[in-house]
Amino acid sequence: PPQPREEPLDLATIAADCTQRFRAVAASQGTDVVLTGDSGAPAWISAPPEWIDRLAGVLVDNACRHAGRSGTVRIGVGRRAGRVTLTVEDSGPGIPAEDRERLFDRFHRATEDGGGAGLGLAIADSIVKSTGGQWRIGGSPLGGALFQVSWRRPRIHGGDVPGSEPAR
């Protein structure tokens, strides 16, 4: 199949859509899905939109599964130092440091609870690598895991993407 085309896309819009998509499903188990940050300002990256939508969906789905009943999943978009970030964190048990290096292995699951075949994070990792993103994995102030992906803010035709502040 042909490679999807990279195009300018607003990460803030993808994060807001993903929040809406998961909010109703998560509410049925008492999990609160919230969007944080400056949601009004665009956060441009250059990537295939369907890949970034899939990446956000995998991360939020994973966070919802691990947040537990009455848990919280927080989705945030940030902009700093010429980079744009997508952060998904949860109030679940977190990921032990010794399991973090195997997190993206196919069929590996950090815990035995929750469904899934262990492919979601392997797919997410391949999307991040294919789009030039960088991972940061750690603990969340909510008590659980924090997954953050950052990308370089694109420059288009010698100028910045419309609506973004100039790169420094």
- Nearest to 145, CA basis, from 52, 69, 45, 68: 68
Query: Which residues make Cβ contacts (< 8 Å) with residue 1, sequence separation at least 6?
Result: none
Query: Residues 134-152: pLDDT tens digits?
Result: 999 999 999 999 999 999 9
Residue 161 has pLDDT above 60, yes or no: no
**DSSP secondary structure of 64-89:** HHHH-TT-EEEEEEEEETTEEEEEEE
pLDDT the model gives residue 69: 86
Q: List helix spans (H) across 5-113.
A: 11-27, 49-67, 97-100
pTM of the model: 0.85
- 54-58, 101-105, 116-120, 154-158, range with the lowest pLDDT: 154-158
Cα 143 to Cα 30: distance, rounded to the nearest angstrom: 17
Element (H, E) at 137: strand 134-139
Whether residue 151 contacts residue 133, with contact meaning beta carbons closer than 8 Å, is answered with: yes
Q: Please indicate whether residue 166 or residue 94 has the higher confidence score (pLDDT).
A: 94
Question: Containing H/E element for 160?
Answer: strand 159-160
Share of the chain above pLDDT 70, in %: 82
Distance between CA atoms of 12 and 73, rounded to whole angstroms?
16
| pLDDT tens per residue across span 92-113 | 999 988 888 888 876 655 554 4
The mean per-residue pLDDT over the stretch 77-82 comes to 89
Contact 136, 150 (CB under 8 A): yes
The pLDDT-based confidence of 73 (bands split at 50, 70, 90) is very high
pLDDT of residue 163: 46
Query: Which of the four pLDDT bands, split at 50, 70 and 90, describes residue 72?
Result: very high
